[in-house]
Structure 1
Amino acid sequence: MFFGSIVALITPFTSENCIDFDCVTQLVKWHIDSGTSAIVVAGTTGESPTLSDDEKFELAQHVVDVSQGKIKIIVGNGSNNTYASCQLTRRLNSLNIDGYLTVTPYYNKPTNEGLIAHYSEIARATTLPIILYNVPSRTACDLPNEVVAKLSELSNIVGLKDATADLSRIDKLRAKCGASFTLLSGDDETGFEFCRLGGDGVISVTANVVPQTMAAIQAHLNNNNIKQAKALELDLVALHRDLFIESNPIAVKWALYYLKKIPNALLRLPLTMISSQAKQKIEQTIVKSNLYPQEN
C-alpha cells in the first residue's frame, strides 16, 4: 500500500505565522508531477509539534482537495497523549486520506506494555491503516522489534517508519512481522541501503528538494536496477547529510527557499532561522550536486 519515495512534506508559513495554503497547493502539485508515491502531512518535517489540531485537520483537508486522489495522503496523528491522538484520529477519519503515521509517545517514557496499549487504542479509533514511527533520537522512546511484531498482529497496523539508522533491524523485523508488513526508512542517509536490504521505501526529507530523483531511485530499486539506483544515490549523499546540518526542518526549508519553491524559510518557535554558516553550506551543496536543473 505504501512504498517508494514518500515525502515528509514541510509546512510553509506566511509572515503572519499562518499556514501558507497557496504554497502548499504548489508543493503538492509538484510532487504529483514528480512521481512521489505519497505525501506525509503534519509529520516532524511539517513541524507537527507547533501545529494545532485544527491546523492539522485544515492542512490535511487542503492537501486532499488539491491532490484529487492522484497521490496517497498520510497524516501525522501521533502525540504523547493517547487520548488526544485518538480524538484527532477520529476527527481526521472524515477526510479522504489513506492512512496515518503515528510517532512513539515522546517524553513519557512508557514501558513496552504502555507502547502496545497506546498504539492499540489509536488503532481502535480508525479503520484506516497506521504506520508506526520509531525515531528515538527525537522521542527518547525506542520501539523494540518485539513490540513492533506484537503490534503488527493488529489488522490496521500495516507498517513501520524506522528512523534509527540501524540496518541490522531489517532482517529481524521482516522475520517477525512477515512479508506483507511495510518497512520504510525514515533516515535519508541510510535509506538506500535500507531498501536494498529489503525495505519497501523511504519517508524522506530529501524528497522535498529533489522529488524526481528520489522517485527515480526507488523505481530503479523496485525493478532491481541496483547500478542505476546507486548512481543516482551517489549524487545525493552530500544533500542527505547537509539537510540535517541543523534541526530538521530548518535546512530543508532554506533549501526550498533558495530554489524558489517557497516564498520564505519561516519556522515556528522554538525553531529559528538557519545560521549563516549552514545557509552557505546548503547552497554550496545544491550547486555542487548539479541535480536541480532536472527538477526545474
Structure 2
Amino acid sequence: MSHFSGSMVAIITPFGEDGRFDEESYRQLIEFQIENGTDVIVPCGTTGESATLGFEEHDRVIKTCIDQVRGRIPVVAGTGANNTAEAIHLSQNAKANGADGLLLVCPYYNKPSQEGIFLHYRKIAAEVALPQVLYNVPGRTGINIAAETTCRLAEIDNIVAIKEASGSITQASEIIANAGDKIDVISGDDFLTFPLMACGAVGVISVTANIAPAQVKQMVVAAQEGNYARARELHLKLLELHQLMFIEANPVPVKTSASLMGKCRADVRLPLSPLQPGSLEKLQTVLKKYALI
C-alpha cells in the first residue's frame, strides 16, 4: 500500500533579489535532493512558504518541480487550503501538471468541527483522482484531526496517508493500530521520526532534509530495516540540528541555513522576517558543528 514512504523533503521555495520565485536555485535544490537519495519531493508545503505564494506562483512552483524531477521520484504537491473549493482548484491544477499525489493541510483559522474536516477531505478526494496525504499540524491550524476522523477518512480509497505533526505519539499509534492497513502514517516532525517509525510510521516529510538530505535518509533507512540501534544513534546525533530548524518560525532557520551553504538567498516573504542576530549566531555554530558550512 505504501504510495509515499521513506525520506521525503518539504522543499523550500527560494526567492531572488527581486523577491520573485528563483527558478534556477530551485532546480539546483531539487538535484541536490535527488543526488542524496531523497525519496519524495513535496513542493509548496508550509516549508515552501505556500501561505505567501500567489495562485499562479503556486502552480508555477509545482510545475517547475515536476519538470525538474522528470519522473525520477514522486512529487507530492502541497495544495491544501482552508477553503475547500480553493483546495480543489489547486489540486486539479497540480494533477494537470503531473503531480503524483497531494499533501492537504487541515483547514486552518476557520476551525471546522471533526465532521467539517471529514466532509472537506471527502469532497477533495471525490473531485481529484490522485492519492492524497492528509496533514495534521494543530500548532499551525488551531485544530487537531482526531484519530477517529483519520480512521473514517482511511476508508476512502485515494486517501493513502496522513502526515502527523500533532506531536502525539499516542495519536499516531492509535491510527496505526486501528487503520494501519488502510492508511500510512508519516512523521511531520523531524525529531519524532525515529519513535514514530518504531511504532509503524513509514517515513518523514522533513524540514531538515533541505540541508542534510543524506543524513536524514540514513536514519530513515536504518529504521526501515529495523536496525533500531543504528537508527537511534543517528536520531540522537541529528537531534540538535532538528531542534535548530525551529529556533524561529519555519522556514526561516532552514532557508537561512541553505543560504549559508550557498544554495539560495535567505529571503522570506512578510510577515516572516529574517533570523534574529542571536539565532543566526547559534545557527552558524551548530551548522559548523555538523560540518554543513
Match of residue 288 from structure 2? 287
Does the 8 Å CA contact 2:134/2:163 hold for their aligned counterparts? yes
1:178 shift after superposition: 2.7
Match of residue 17 from structure 1? 19
Which stretches of structure 1, 4 residues or more, deviate above 4 A after TM superposition? none
Deviations, residues 62-82 of structure 1 (Å, cap 9, x unaligned)? 111111111110111111101
Deviations, residues 70-117 of structure 1 (Å, cap 9, x unaligned)? 111011111110111111112221122110000010011101111111
Cα distance in 1, alignment partners of residues 227 and 83 from structure 2: 43
| Correspondent of 1:35 among 28, 34, 37 | 37
Match of residue 98 from structure 1? 100
Deviations, residues 131-176 of structure 1 (Å, cap 9, x unaligned)? 0000000010110011001111111000100001111123210122
Trace 1:1-296 onto structure 2 (pairs within 5 A): 1-262=3-264, 264-290=265-291, 292=292
Deviations, residues 215-249 of structure 1 (Å, cap 9, x unaligned)? 11111111111122222222211111111000000
Cα distance in 1, alignment partners of residues 214 and 93 from structure 2: 33
Cα distance in 1, alignment partners of residues 16 and 4 from structure 2: 31
1:27 shift after superposition: 0.5
Cα distance in 1, alignment partners of residues 18 and 96 from structure 2: 29
Cα distance in 2, alignment partners of residues 188 and 92 from structure 1: 26
Range that drifts further, 103-112 or 280-289: 280-289
1:192 shift after superposition: 1.4
Cα distance in 2, alignment partners of residues 259 and 79 from structure 1: 32
TM-score, normalised by the number of residues in structure 1: 0.96
Deviations, residues 174-197 of structure 1 (Å, cap 9, x unaligned)? 122133421101011212111122
Does the 8 Å CA contact 1:235/1:289 hold for their aligned counterparts? no
Does the 8 Å CA contact 1:13/1:19 hold for their aligned counterparts? yes
The alignment partner of 1:72 has SS state of: coil
1:30 shift after superposition: 0.7
Write the letter of the residue equivalent to 1:75.
A
Q: Pairwise CA RMSD of aligned residues? A: 1.1
Range that drifts further, 229-238 or 150-159: 229-238
Change (3 A) 1:59 1:114: same
Does the 8 Å CA contact 1:250/1:273 hold for their aligned counterparts? yes
Write the letter of the residue equivalent to 1:282.
L
Cα distance in 2, alignment partners of residues 248 and 70 from structure 1: 28
TM-score, normalised by the number of residues in structure 2: 0.97
Cα distance in 2, alignment partners of residues 242 and 58 from structure 1: 30
Write the letter of the residue equivalent to 1:124.
A
Does the 8 Å CA contact 1:8/1:43 hold for their aligned counterparts? yes
Does the 8 Å CA contact 1:89/1:125 hold for their aligned counterparts? no
How many residues are matched? 291
The alignment partner of 2:216 has SS state of: helix
Write the letter of the residue equivalent to 2:216.
M
Percentage identity across paired residues of the two chains: 37
Range that drifts further, 222-231 or 41-50: 222-231
The alignment partner of 2:130 has SS state of: coil
Cα distance in 2, alignment partners of residues 254 and 25 from structure 1: 18
The alignment partner of 1:235 has SS state of: helix
